């Protein structure tokens, strides 16, 4: 019975928002890697032109995983931490993911704006919702 109560106690509105931020960062990372974002145009001396597109993964290779791993790792940190350090880690993670998005705004940072928004929502949500009082009108 205590394990159920403790497990239920782990998930609250703040943790759910942090989980949503992690999922959004992961989806954004996959989009950065595999959505075509480069346009290649070639022409030869006879005037034949060819236009194609490439993904970040095709152009930059596996090193691009390191760049994408940064925001994903930042958003998972608050989900891994428990105890009194959790609120501080939540704020630090929101600030770091925000900085990542702002610094990389003209490249890949734009993709991570939804994860930043979810992390900011998580920061401002209370860890525990206040108990509601039931008042009887009768």
For the entire predicted model, the pTM comes to 0.80
Query: Residue ranges of the domains in the chain?
Result: 7-124
Give one DSSP letter per residue of 50-113, joined into a string.
EEEEE-HHHHHGGGHHHHHHHHHHHHHHHHH--GGGHHHHHHHHHHHHHHHHHHTTTTTGGGGH
Per-residue pLDDT tens over the stretch 92-125 = 999 999 999 999 988 888 999 999 999 999 999 8
What does the angle CA 85 – CA 99 – CA 92 come to, to the nearest 5 degrees? Answer: 5
| Distance between start and end Cα atoms, the chain | 36
């Amino acid at each position: 019975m205590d394990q159920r109560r403790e497990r239920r106690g782990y998930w609250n509105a703040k943790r759910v928002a942090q989980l949503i931020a992690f999922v959004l960062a992961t989806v954004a990372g996959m989009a950065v890697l595999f959505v075509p974002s480069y346009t290649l145009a070639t022409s030869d001396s006879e005037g034949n032109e060819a236009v194609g597109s490439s993904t970040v993964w095709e152009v930059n290779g596996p090193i691009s995983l390191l760049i994408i791993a940064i925001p994903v790792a930042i958003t998972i940190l608050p989900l891994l931490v428990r105890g009194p350090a959790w609120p501080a880690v939540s704020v630090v993670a929101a600030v770091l993911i925000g900085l990542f998005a702002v610094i990389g705004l003209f490249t890949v940072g734009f993709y991570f704006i939804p994860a930043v928004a979810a992390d900011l929502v998580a920061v401002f949500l209370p860890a525990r919702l206040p108990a509601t009082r039931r008042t009887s009108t009768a």
